[in-house]
Structure 1
Amino acid sequence: MARRPPSETQKAERAEQLEHLHAQIADKVANLTTSGQWQAWLRVASRFHQYSFNNTILIWTQRPDATLVAGYTTWQKSFHRQVTRGEHGIRILAPVTRRLPKLKPDGTPVLDDKGKPVMATQIVGVKPTSVFDISQTTGDPVPEPPRPALLTGRAPEGLWQSLASLVHAQGFRLERGDCRGANGYTDYTSRTVKVRDDVDDAQAVKTLAHELGHVLLHQPTTDGAPVCRDRREVEAESVAYLVTAAHGLDSSQYTFTYVACWAEQALPHHKEGTTIADVIHTTGNRVLKTAHQILDATAAPDNTQPIGQALTEAVTRNVAADRTALLLEEAGSPVALQAAAISRPAHQVEVSRSSLRRGSSPAAPPR
């Protein structure tokens, strides 16, 4: 059946609804990252050393399943955990530092207001040292990062096929199978999009929409600066949320936690004072343009009204959830957290085995 393009009125209504949903991503993600569970993890994550790229490779080659890595003393003193007897350390390179005078470009020392050299800690070399993964230790439990819960159930009829057609139209091959710990990935070199085959249809479609966002937004080009990974993930998942919402599939239980993880990691790359909401809003034009591009190609044959209805229902559902949570919270109701969970559900947590990057933010989740 032929696809009838949406009318100008329908396009305008859809644009307004998508903009409303995109604004809600920022609001809900900002609220999520103030939760007690999230803050508990941030306090833990701040104690882990941020490893260099070379050390990340060293860790991966020696222990590919490593998740949380720290030194012997750090495990003991900061986390009250003991390295199990007989465990072999993961060898990495630790910096050797010294306090040396800070120098000007001409080689002369920088002096303070009293005429004394200003001292600074500088790396003068490296030395081998050992660290241990959490799986090599026992003791007190360590709070885990909030993780998005996989979607369950059926996907909207025909949406997988429509998204797959767009992937093929961009010159990419679509596969199902093992994704090495992720829910999906896009390989620009082999021009392959892969989605894991052991999840429900709803999750598979959401992941495919995410990967299609990468295909349309993030293919490497010779012109223009590349977008950092944190922003790429925020953009792709936001596109997936808007597209699935337009087709009547609510992926908020996955999207908000996923976007929060990556938006948190994007903050250090922005100027001081930037908030998570700012990070999400800066992606708005690209996200909305891509969502419209996908929805123009995935509208139901001869009928675009179902998408408009689904968007309206999605916006109404999210607004109603926010109002209900607010009213109960103001009333001091003991079920306020349950109402808030409509839009910010309590997510199942698990430690990512695919991420070794540790610092001041939660571990990035698989797609």
Structure 2
Amino acid sequence: MTTRTHSPQHAALHTTMLTLRLAIADLDSASAWSRLFDVAARHPGRGVNDVLLIARQRPDATDLATYARWRERGAHVRRAERGMALLQPLDDTGDSFDVVTVFDVTQTNAPPSPRPPVHDLVPVMAALAAMAERAGLTVRLRRGLSTPVAAEGDRLDLAAHLPISATAGHLVQRLAQRLLPAGPAREARAAGVAHVVARRFGLQPPEATALVRWRDELDPAAVDRAVVHTVTAVITHADALTARLRRALSRPAATAPRPTPRPGAPVSTQRRPDRVAAPGLPVPAQRRPGRVAAPERDALYAVNAAAAAFYAAQLPTSRPAAAYLRSRGIAEAAEPGGGWQLGVAPPQGDALLRHLRALGYSHRVMLDAGLIAASRLHGGALYDVFRDRLIFPIHARDGRIAGFTGRDLSGRSQAKFYNTPETAVFRKSELLHGLAPQLRDQGTPTQFLVVEGPTDAIAAHLAYRGLAAEGVTTVAVAPCGTAFTAAQFALLAACAAPGTSLIMSFDADSAGTRALERAYPLAVTWPHGRVTGTAPAGCKDIAALLAARGPDEALLDLLAAERPLPLLGVERALAKAFPEGFHADWPEARVRAFRTVAPYLLDAVRHGDVELLVQAAAAQLAVAPHELSAGVAQLYGGDQIGPGSAPPKGPGTAVDHVRKHAGKLPGIAAQRR
């Protein structure tokens, strides 16, 4: 590959080519390959260079365009946003490139990109099975398989007990392998095609281990070229298979009745992962909680309470549950009177169903509560949604049980945690695990602690109760998933009193870091008291810390790690902005540092942590605090944010200047790279 050395953008081109090589070097694990093909799935029509560069620079990007193109679309790129470099071919040979800078929609004032459509998995699976049949494969469902898929010649058996999304992902991979030309990279390319197509249609992609094995076997001198050729082939064949599948789905569905599938029969009609009607019961229309009559809501709360009592009765005899609770340091939560109402869902497929039916509850109420579902594989037979799981009830604000989250105890489920599907009383984005029981027992707390999962909420409660003797009460809560929403934030704020502080603590891994970054813009607007963050030093999460150190030592570690949230935010932002280290002699680096610090400095103004933040950021950059303050003030001295802005006139410190202009920049705290 040659480049134009006489281009005025030669330095940028050289840097981008280096980024491209680093993107290829990144592909040394299954997660890296999965991240790359997630990018390819979100950006159809882009070539191999674009996909590799996006994966390296901004893998979560959804809608990219140049500055001029955003202007044409009526949007503006926000100030201080750093663009992403892509390669633009200068001719048809593919050997000469120039650099083009693009920005993601999240870096502009444009509305978020619309979410991709949610596909009905039944016709998707049926279309894939038909395509596989035409390619010479005989596809059948089969019980008792120890693996998701078993292939023997032209026969392909899919495990009947797995969710449709998982089996469909394996079917895509086998279909792609049949359609691809023979060669040493055939299996690896089929895995990549399956990943891209699966992501586009809401399926669960198979593991990318085939790609890791293939790359490890390459000649080190030929890795770059082989990776580029393979990713190019994956993108090309994935786009072609996507087009074929969409054409198949766009055809009118046949009106003739289909036979009920049975194990061992060809896959012509398939399972649904969501609930369907039992025989004689129509599928209920989706209704928003506010539109459901009070008696219907009361019936859902009542059947949830009965289910919770049934699950709780199974807990004392479950050895896997006891072992898991001990491993997480929260065995005490299972003791009678613990207040957490933990339980166990038996592994039998209809144990809860039979119990609730004996109590007089109708199938309709159980279906509406999301406790049972009906399978199309077995003639609409009903089965329990939660099986072989440790159950954590999730309460509404009034203390009634709105739904459940269950942690797998079998070790065989691909979903470690599973929530009640959305119902008239359960919307996971509006509920917090642990909130109602602790408020009932403790009243309005001194501080709220937001953690990532239900086991961490229990562990944090056990650790922080050591502060009760000092008059400090803590309520630890967890969202049903890693995303902390505006509705959950408002719920906490409504339950707080003046002076109630907020502590944020997510897992010490990449997912927890992303969750904290997403929660930060909400958390710093907490209206009642201080906002801080803490982390379980040396452990993945608070439950692991509690199990390893005990409640007293765990509490001391968490208190020692607690710092104002803007300080934690600016540390992460600076580390992300300067992964190779900060070079104070570079003017561009200094401007970027000042722009990175400024939003967090404005957040610190709100909570009185300005001087502390300036000291911490200056120490991280190895510059004098007054130099950092002056640099931030210079950026905000005029109407424009950028290098060359005039410094503030007249007396006053940089801190005073930021305080003065904080009201003029209401959106700056949300500007994140």
TM above 0.5: no
TM-score, normalised via structure 1 length: 0.31
Q: Which has the larger radius of gyration?
A: 2
TM-score, normalised via structure 2 length: 0.19
